[in-house]
Amino acid sequence: MIIKSSSYAVSAVKESQYPKDNLPEIALAGRSNVGKSSLINTLLKRKNLARTSSQPGKTQTLNFYLVNDEFYLVDVPGYGYAKVSQKRRQEFGEMIQDYLETRPNLKGLIILIDSRHQPTKDDIAMYEYAQYLNIPILVVCTKMDKIKKSQINKVMSGLKKHLDLSYDHVTVLTFSSVTKLHVAELGDWIEDKINQ
Ligand code: GTP
Ligand code: MG
């Protein structure tokens, strides 16, 4: 995929605020701090379009980024952030579920998992939940620049131990926003899904 243009479009917490131009959308979900906003910036070759932070919990709304006037990337608030109150966490959960379960424009979901750790309970719950959405899923192992070559097999077998990756609608990619590992493959996956 060639990126010709990208811009921040809108932030939403409910359906009435979602974009109304009926373009396809690809959403990104993952634990807080896993690298969702960084992946968006890397793919779009923008330094700080999606706001990133070493402090988890930065993204608190569904943030829509318009790409090539053709589709939206949707940055979803990260889960598993302990400092968020129970009530707030429930509101986040409902907002995310509402979007994922009712949005007809949603053509694919990217689930990011930190390659430095085993999938967390929240990662596993998200992945299992996503199987019911009936859309293509891309599992992205982030921060691969932090992994020694000799550890890569261990990362993949740890992932397979916790997640059933054998479904036809599931693709797996290793990724790094630092080295740009597999950024082209990421773009190809998205292009394929928005054109289906
Ligand atoms: P929330 O918005 O809180 O859900 O976090 P997020 O998933 O958007 O994470 P974000 O992109 O803000 O990245 C969190 C931290 O991880 C930042 O300090 C990034 O610089 C760092 N980071 C993201 N991707 C990579 C990567 O591929 N490699 C390395 N080494 N660091 C990364
Ligand atoms: Mg973010």
In SS3 terms, the chain reads as CCCCCEEEEEEECCHHHCCCCCCCEEEEEEECCCCHHHHHHHHHCCCCCCCCCCCCCCCCCEEEEEECCCEEEEECCCECCCCCCHHHHHHHHHHHHHHHHHCCCEEEEEEEEECCCCCCHHHHHHHHHHCCCCCCEEEEEECHHHCCHHHHHHHHHHHHHHCCCCCCCEEEEECCCCCCCCHHHHHHHHHHHHCC
Going by alpha carbons, the residue nearest to atom 23 of ligand 1 is: 35
pLDDT value for 89:
75
Question: 50-71, pLDDT tens digit by residue?
Answer: 887 777 666 678 999 999 999 9
pLDDT value for 81:
66
Question: 89-112, pLDDT tens digit by residue?
Answer: 777 788 899 999 999 999 999 999
Is residue 27 a part of any domain in this protein?
yes
Substitution site in 31, 49, 52 for ligand 1 pocket (most atoms within 8 Å of beta carbon)? 52
pLDDT value for 57:
65
pLDDT value for 68:
98
pLDDT value for 3:
96
pLDDT value for 94:
87
pLDDT value for 78:
84
pLDDT value for 77:
85
Is residue 34 a part of any domain in this protein?
yes
Atom of ligand 1 nearest to the CA of 41: 11
Full-model pTM: 0.95
Give me the domain span that covers residue 73: 6-194
CATH of the domain at 46: 3.40.50.300
Is residue 1 a part of any domain in this protein?
no
The pLDDT confidence band at residue 85, using thresholds 50, 70 and 90, is confident
In the predicted model, what is the mean pLDDT of residues 149-178? Answer: 96
Q: How many angstroms does the Cα of residue 36 sit away from the middle of ligand 1? A: 7
Q: What percent of the chain has pLDDT over 70?
A: 95
Is residue 170 a part of any domain in this protein?
yes
pLDDT value for 58:
64
Substitution site in 31, 32, 36, 38 for ligand 1 pocket (most atoms within 8 Å of beta carbon)? 38
Question: Is 56 buried (19+), middle (13-18) or exposed (0-12) by CB count in 10 A?
Answer: middle
Asked if the model's pLDDT at residue 88 lies above 70, the reply is: yes
In the predicted model, what is the mean pLDDT of residues 119-130? Answer: 94
In the predicted model, what is the mean pLDDT of residues 25-54? Answer: 92
Atom of ligand 1 nearest to the CA of 53: 12
How many domains, in total, are found in the chain?
1
Expressed in angstroms, the distance from the first to the final Cα of the chain is 15
Atom of ligand 1 nearest to the CA of 144: 27
In the predicted model, what is the mean pLDDT of residues 165-183? Answer: 97
pLDDT value for 139:
98
pLDDT value for 73:
98
